[in-house]
Structure 1
Amino acid sequence: MINEVVSTLGRIDVLVHIAGIYPFGPLPGQSAQEYKRVMSVNMDSAFYLTRAVLPHTQKAGYGRIINTASGTTSHPEAGLAVCAASKSAVVAFTRATATEAGPGVTANVVAPGSVVTETTWSSPHAKPIFDKAVERQCVERYGQPTDVAQMISFIASPAAELITGQRFHVSGGMIFN
């Protein structure tokens, strides 16, 4: 896929990995199959995409690799242990990628807090978790997809050329690095 993009467009400037699943449930009830599925979607896909994109951005001397994590990497919630583990791996992987990226190439992580999407809001566990989060936030409202998109847009821009290996929480001030 990445080679086709480069072949068609001549280069690839930005990779944004937004994949994420977060089955809710107590850790003892999580099956090995579900654990592997979460790790595959959340972490393995970041690895494979980054591995495919990095040589192209390094050769060009320019690129932005942006992965998404979750507020659970800093403030875990009961029932989200597997999600927290997979997204914590994404954070560490992205920071390590930043050390290898080379001149002109950055790697950063955006960690959304409670963001209302069709998928997140469809869970019966969402509203209580979101309400609890909003109570701890400095900006007391649910996050919107545009909040995350604006952070990604900035990190993807040439203006962010000196920013790499960082995790940006988009959580209304619930989490501080």
Structure 2
Amino acid sequence: MNYKAHLLIGLSANALAFALAAGLHLFSLNAVAANPVLVAGIILAAVVFSILPDIDSSKSVASWIFRLVLFAATAFFAVDYYLTKNVFSLYKAAGTIFLFALHFAYAQDGKMHRRFPHSLAFGALACLAVFILTGSKLAALAGCVAFLSHLAADGRIFSSLKFFSKPRKFFD
């Protein structure tokens, strides 16, 4: 399935989930709509998490965006180090270069790319990271719905559970 289909499915699933949650009075749509930063965060989480599991495919849009963000971050930290001589900026630049190399070594093509990023554990960790970084339960929920819709569209919901039952075998 291509990224456009995953985006459509992820955004549709989020629209349905948020309409259902608002209908059950779990939150107020008016309160969300009054906060444009929150709306942008929810939409961004839904878009990113719709394609996030494919980050382990070297030719995916998610990988391309990841590499672009890493390149921009490396450049930013390098310029920051040049201007401020702050050694932590140099460490951050080295860290982004390390992440780029790690992604290059991990990402594969073909059907073999469906490994850890196509697991519920990866989705849970990514959603937890969104919540910790933003403090927004709704952005984390949007990410969770989009991630699960990606796994469902790929037919990977039940096979992704194998990570919990046999972690050693999963990484082999």
Structure with the largest fraction of helix: 2
TM-score (structure 1 length as normaliser): 0.26
TM-score (norm 2): 0.27
Higher relative contact order structure (alpha carbons within 8 Å, sequence separation ≥ 6): 2
Higher strand share: 1
